[in-house]
Amino acid sequence: MSQTSTLKGQCIAEFLGTGLLIFFGVGCVAALKVAGASFGQWEISVIWGLGVAMAIYLTAGVSGAHLNPAVTIALWLFACFDKRKVIPFIVSQVAGAFCAAALVYGLYYNLFFDFEQTHHIVRGSVESVDLAGTFSTYPNPHINFVQAFAVEMVITAILMGLILALTDDGNGVPRGPLAPLLIGLLIAVIGASMGPLTGFAMNPARDFGPKVFAWLAGWGNVAFTGGRDIPYFLVPLFGPIVGAIVGAFAYRKLIGRHLPCDICVVEEKEITTPSEQKASL
């Protein structure tokens, strides 16, 4: 992250980066659902992963490319991210996801309308949940609320732990400019293996922003509930946050503490006042 970029610039970067990954990801799902494209789970996962990689390349130098409220919160708790930036970053990420979902819908508008007419789908009914899944995630009908929460928590913990590993130059060979592609590949692998269970949200902004758009676009409450008694939106909203905290904690305590360089310790040593420096002389 640039030390000279302003908070405004960083928030714009988070808005654009999150929007870019949603544009590619939701766009490929829209192509599958309403345009007759033929994608398998692996292809969808790769497109999402490459979308994330491109978004990281776009924004890393300005904001650090969080692009995910769960990542922002975990970095605040375990990697010395400035707590004053947490809320602005999260708002920017959710707004970017919302706007990108709206853009994809606008570009595919006629196809959504024709699909609903052809298949006699009433928008806002339980039968329309599958189409609402173009924008956000819903669980496999064979798993319950608790299982879905566990899936999102576990896969986000793995994602967060490996993000820290891949971006930690003190952990093995520095990945440098390859890190975004490796993170994208990681997301693709997670999506291919666990995506059929919950849609691999792993990102509250990626799910909540588009859900708000779907609600406004006519899907109503079913966009949040997924047709279930318990509002399903709570799972991809809080599951990834818990998972990212667990993943960051595990990496710092099980791996990071055994490396020669501890990021927070180094930063704390660098941020000392003149009086503290004089006192140490």
Q: Domain containing 98 — which CATH number?
A: 1.20.1080.10
Model confidence, pTM: 0.90
CA distance 19 to 213: 13
Residue 275 pLDDT exceeds 60: no
Does a structural domain hold residue 58? yes
**Total structural domains within the chain:** 1
Question: 1-43, pLDDT tens digit by residue?
Answer: 656 689 999 999 999 999 999 999 999 999 999 999 999 999 9
96 falls within a domain: yes
- Helix then strand then coil, % of the chain, to nearest 5: 75, 0, 25
157 pLDDT above the threshold of 60 = yes
CA distance 51 to 46: 8
Q: What is the pLDDT of residues 181-200, one digit of tens each?
A: 999 999 999 999 999 999 99
* Structural domain includes residue 1: no
Q: How confident is the model at residue 259 (pLDDT cuts 50, 70, 90)?
A: confident
Surface-to-core class of residue 66, CB atoms within 10 Å of its CB (0-12 exposed, 13-18 middle, 19+ buried): buried
Which of 1-15, 116-130, 265-279 is predicted most confidently? 116-130
Note whether residue 2 is domain-resident.
no
User: Residue 197 domain-assigned?
Assistant: yes
Domain of residue 261, residue span: 7-271
| 221 belongs to a structural domain | yes
pLDDT in tens, 54-113: 999 999 999 999 999 999 999 999 998 999 999 999 999 999 999 999 999 999 999 999
